[in-house]
């Protein structure tokens, strides 16, 4: 019981970090690129997929159901470096960071689960 309390405390003390992550299907190598202002929330993404409730991407959910959780890997691609600039906009900086990874990895069509935004 003491170990559980220690782990909870450690989790609470871990700083909240924003960043870009990847969910990779190890069976067909398709990837999903996403970003979050709290990388700790990836446990919630995993939970949503495990309970068939991941609404942002039905294709990813379908393949998760088909192949099982063992077929997927979660990786943090890059953490957002915060700046001590009063004009620093974390949301904007995170969007740019995600765009950089989308451009680099192109997780569309047969290569991934992301959808190209019409712009």
Candidates 50, 40, 33; CA nearest to 15 is 40
The pLDDT score that the predictor gives to residue 9 is: 80
pLDDT of residue 119: 53
Instruction: Kindly state the helix (H) or strand (E) to which residue 21 belongs, with its residue range.
Output: strand 19-25
Q: Under DSSP, is residue 13 helix (H, G, I), strand (E, B) or coil?
A: helix
Place of tokens 């309390």: 5
* Better-predicted residue by pLDDT, 66 or 85: 66
- Taking the domains of the chain in order of start, what are their residue ranges? 16-107
Q: Find where tokens 């991934």 sit.
A: 112
Q: Supply the pTM of this predicted model.
A: 0.84
CATH of domain 16-107: 3.40.1440.10
Two structure tokens written together for 5:
């309390």
């Amino acid at each position: 019981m003491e170990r559980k309390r220690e782990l909870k405390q450690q989790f609470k003390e871990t700083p909240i970090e924003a960043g870009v992550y990847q969910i990779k299907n190890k069976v067909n190598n398709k990837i999903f690129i996403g970003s979050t202002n709290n990388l700790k929330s990836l446990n919630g993404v995993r939970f949503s997929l495990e309970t068939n409730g991941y609404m942002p991407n039905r294709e990813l959910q379908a393949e998760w159901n088909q192949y099982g959780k063992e077929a997927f890997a979660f990786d943090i691609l890059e953490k957002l470096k915060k700046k001590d600039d009063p004009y620093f906009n974390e949301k904007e900086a995170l969007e740019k960071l995600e765009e950089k990874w989308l451009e680099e990895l192109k997780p569309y069509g047969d290569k991934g689960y992301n959808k190209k935004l019409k712009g």
